[in-house]
Chains A and B, each alone.
Chain A
Amino acid sequence: AQRVTQPEKLLSVFKGAPVELKCNYSYSGSPELFWYVQYSRQRLQLLLRHISRESIKGFTADLNKGETSFHLKKPFAQEEDSAMYYCALRGGSQGNLIFGKGTKLSVKP
């Protein structure tokens, strides 16, 4: 069965500090992993996906198949990064997208 686990409901850091939002998944095949973000009063939107190996707004995420993890990292957090972050998994080429419960990131000045 597909499952996405985000162990932290809330993560609070100070501006300029490094941040890591954890995501672990359970899937027997080769999954596609995504991070979605929801800023206050805005709709949910894609932040990044593992196949693109890109850095968006300073965030990166590396798929670690051995540890079944896809942690989201940023070396220097900014106040505007405060938002709700969801890790998501798609199994199969036409499969559904399953989300974790989300982590609320709060970046303090």
Chain B
Amino acid sequence: GAGVSQSPSNKVTEKGKDVELRCDPISGHTALYWYRQSLGQGLEFLIYFQGNSAPDKSGLPSDRFSAERTGGSVSTLTIQRTQQEDSAVYLCASSPPRPSHYSGNTIYFGEGSWLTVV
């Protein structure tokens, strides 16, 4: 597709259930990012994939959160045993590979998955 695609766009789930959020990055983009956007908290970094390197998981808030990226393309963010405080917009972004002499790469965001835990 032309842009980063996320699904579902909206998800309402019961507390304690597991949810999976999907991200299809722009074709050819090697870097993929997950962020969480909630009122008053801004954009909170969750996890970052870059090519075949080990992902940077330093932003995952607890061990209930995990993400994987299959075949260097599609990524799935999984939240186990959801809590009400997990309610937020989960944003995915991707960026193209960068030549070593280049800096200032742009990342492109999806429209987000709105998660509501009731």
Q: Which residues of B contact A96 (CB under 8 A)?
A: 33, 45, 48, 56
**Number of chain A residues whose Cβ lies closer than 8 Å to a Cβ of chain B:** 21
Q: How far is the CB of B36 from chain A (nearest CB, A)?
A: 11
Q: Is A46 an interface residue (CB 8 A)?
A: yes
Chain A residues, CB < 8 A from B111: 43
Complex CA–CA separation, A63 to B50 (angstroms): 27
CB-defined contacts of B109 to chain A, threshold 8 Å: 43-45
Tell me the minimal C-beta distance from B1 to chain A in angstroms.
Answer: 13
Number of A-B contacts (CB under 8 A): 52
Contact across chains for B42 and A100 when beta carbons are under 8 A apart: yes
Q: Does A74 contact B (CB under 8 A)?
A: no
What distance in Å separates the Cβ of A49 from its nearest Cβ neighbour in chain B? 5
| B19: min CB distance to chain A, Å | 21
A72-109 interface mask toward B, CB cutoff 8 Å, 1 = contact, 0 = none?
A: 00000000000000100000011011111110000000
> Is A52 interfacial (CB 8 A cutoff)?
yes
Instruction: Tell whether, in the assembled complex, residue B43 and residue A52 are in contact, meaning their CB atoms are under 8 Å apart.
Output: no
Chain A residues whose C-beta falls within 8 Å of the C-beta of B93 in the assembled complex: 44, 97
Contacts of B112 in A (CB 8 A): 43
The smallest C-beta distance from B32 to any residue of chain A, in angstroms, reads 11
Q: Which among A6, A9, A43, A93 is the interface contact of B103 at CB below 8 angstroms?
A: A93
- In the assembled complex, the Cα of A6 lies from the Cα of B43 at a distance in Å of 12
Distance A7 CA – B112 CA, assembled complex (angstroms): 25
A102 adjacent to B98 (CB under 8 Å): no
